[in-house]
Amino acid sequence: MPVHDSLSAHHENLATRSIQSDTLSAKLAREGALFQGLPSAVWAAAKDHFTNEKSSLAADAFIGVGTGLTLVAVAKNPAVFGRASADFFSSALAHSGKVFTTLTALDWTRRIGAPVVDTWIDPNNLSNAKNILAQNIATGLVDYGVGLASGATAAGVAHKFYNPKFSPVPVKDTTWHKIYESEFPADERQSYEFFKTLSKPGSMPHVRVHVSRHKSETRAFSMTADYGEGSEGRKLLLPYIAVSPEIQSGGVGTRHLKQMVAELKSTYPTAKGIVLEVENPDIPGIGGDLQAQRHKRINWYQKRDGQVLDRPYYFPSTVAGEPPIAGHLMWIGFGRGELSKKGLEELVHDIYKYGYKLDASDPLMASLKSKT
C-alpha cells in the first residue's frame, strides 16, 4: 500500500474512533463553544455581506417594496386585480401574517439548527459550523432587515396615498349619490329633496352627511339624523352608511365608522350612542344570497362594537303602498352608559313621526302605545 493511502486510512480511523468515543459532555461542550464569540463573528459577516452582496440586497429591497405596495393595495381595495379575485385576496390577506410568521420560523430554524446539528454529530466540524452559523445569522438579519424596512417604508407611503380623508359635506353635495343608489334598495331610499329639507337649520330631524374621499373620489358616506335632546341625552340615528362596492372589505368602512363616532361624540356631548336600522335576515322566503348579505351586515357592525337591541322593529317602506320592512335596531355606544327602554321608545317614536312622517293613525305609531 502506498504511504499516502496508509496515512489517509489512518486519519479516517482516528476520526471514526473520535466520533464513536464522543460523549454527551463533549457534545454539550462543543455546542457551548459553537456560540462563543458569536456576536463579533456575526458583525464581521454582516459587514462582509453588505460590502460584497449589493446586488442581492438591492433585490431584497425591490421585493420588499413590491410586497409592501401590494399588501396596501389589496388591503385598501381587494378588487384591485378584479372583482372575481376580491374574496381570494381578502382571505389571503387575513392569513398573511400567520403564513409569514410560520415561514420565517422555519427559515431561522434551518439557519441556526443546521450548524447546531452538525456540531452535535461531528466533533471535527466545530470550526466550519461556527463560520456557517455566523454567516447564516448575519445574512438573515441583513436580508430580513432590508426587506422589512423597504416594505414598511413603501407601505407607509402607500397607506398615506390611499387613505381617504373624512369630512362633512353639504347634503346637496352629489358625490355620495352613486354609493347611496347602488347600496340601498328603492324601498329604503328617501328622496334627495327630502334630505335637503331636513338639512336646514331647525329641522326635525336634522341630517348631516360625511364622506371619506380620496382626491376627487368619494369612497364612503354616512348620514346621521339628530332628533334633539331627550330624557337621556341627545337622540341620534344612523340611517345610512355605505362604502363604494369597488373597494369594500378594504377597511375604508371601518375607518369611516370610527371617525364618524369620534366626530359625533365630540359634537354631541350628551349623546350616549347612536342607533342603527338594519334589515332582518331571518324573514321566511328571502333568498339565500340576500339572507347571507343581511347577516354579514349585522356581523360587520357587531365586530365594531355594535349590538342588536332586544326590540321588534319595522321601518316603513319609502315606496307607497308597500308594507313595512321587518328589521332590527342596533346600538353603538359612546361609553356614556346604556340606552334604557324609555330612551329607546322616545327615539323610535321620533323616527316614525318625524323621520318617516307617519301620522297617529298609522299602525306603526299605534304599536308604540302598547310599549309605553
Check the CA dihedral 236-242-243-244 and report its sign: negative
Instruction: State the pLDDT at residue 93.
Output: 73
129 lies in the same domain as 194: no
Instruction: Kindly state the DSSP code that residue 203 receives in the 8-state scheme.
Output: -
Instruction: State the pLDDT at residue 66.
Output: 83
- Among the candidates 162, 182, 209, a domain finishes at 162
Provide φ and ψ at 313, rounded to 5°.
-145, 140
Cis peptide before 205 (omega within 30 of 0): yes
138 lies in the same domain as 234: no
- Among the candidates 138, 162, 186, a domain finishes at 162
CA 204 to each of CA 7, 32, 267: distance values in angstroms, whole numbers, following the listed order: 104, 78, 17
Which residues neighbour 194 within 8 Å (Cβ) at sequence distance 6 or greater?
none
Range of the domain at 232: 165-369
Low-confidence ranges of the chain (pLDDT < 70): 1-21, 75-87, 89-90, 158-162, 249-250, 369-372
48 lies in the same domain as 194: no
What's the pLDDT tens digit per position in 309-360? 999 999 888 888 888 889 999 999 999 999 999 999 999 999 999 999 998 8
154 lies in the same domain as 181: no
169 lies in the same domain as 158: no
145 lies in the same domain as 192: no
Which residue type sits at 251? G
172 lies in the same domain as 37: no
Average model confidence (pLDDT) across the chain: 85
Long-range interactions of 300-308: CB distance < 8 A, separation 24+: 300/253, 301/276, 301/330, 301/332, 304/254, 304/257, 304/258, 304/332, 305/332, 305/333, 306/276, 306/330, 306/331, 306/332, 307/331, 307/332
Instruction: State the pLDDT at residue 21.
Output: 60
What Rg, from alpha-carbon coordinates, does the chain have?
33
How many whole angstroms separate alpha carbon 177 and alpha carbon 162?
22
What's the pLDDT tens digit per position in 44-88? 998 998 899 888 889 888 888 888 777 777 766 666 566 666 667
Q: Which residues pair with 331 in a beta bridge?
A: 275, 307
Helices (H), the chain: 3-20, 24-34, 38-52, 54-76, 86-121, 126-162, 177-183, 192-198, 252-267, 288-302, 341-350, 363-369
Which residue type sits at 275? V
108 lies in the same domain as 177: no
CATH of the domain at 220: 3.40.630.30
27 lies in the same domain as 44: yes
How many whole angstroms separate alpha carbon 364 and alpha carbon 317?
12
- Among the candidates 139, 162, 185, a domain finishes at 162
Please indicate, yes or no, whether the overall pTM of this predicted structure exceeds 0.85. Answer: no
> Structurally, how many domains does the chain consist of?
2
105 lies in the same domain as 116: yes
Instruction: State the pLDDT at residue 10.
Output: 42
Instruction: State the pLDDT at residue 227.
Output: 96
State the chain's maximal CA–CA distance in angstroms. Answer: 119
245 lies in the same domain as 358: yes
- 206 and 225 Cβ atoms separated by less than 8 Å: yes
Cell of 259: 371617525
Q: Which residues pair with 276 in a beta bridge?
A: 238, 330
Cell of 214: 380620496
- 202 and 255 Cβ atoms separated by less than 8 Å: no
50 lies in the same domain as 85: yes
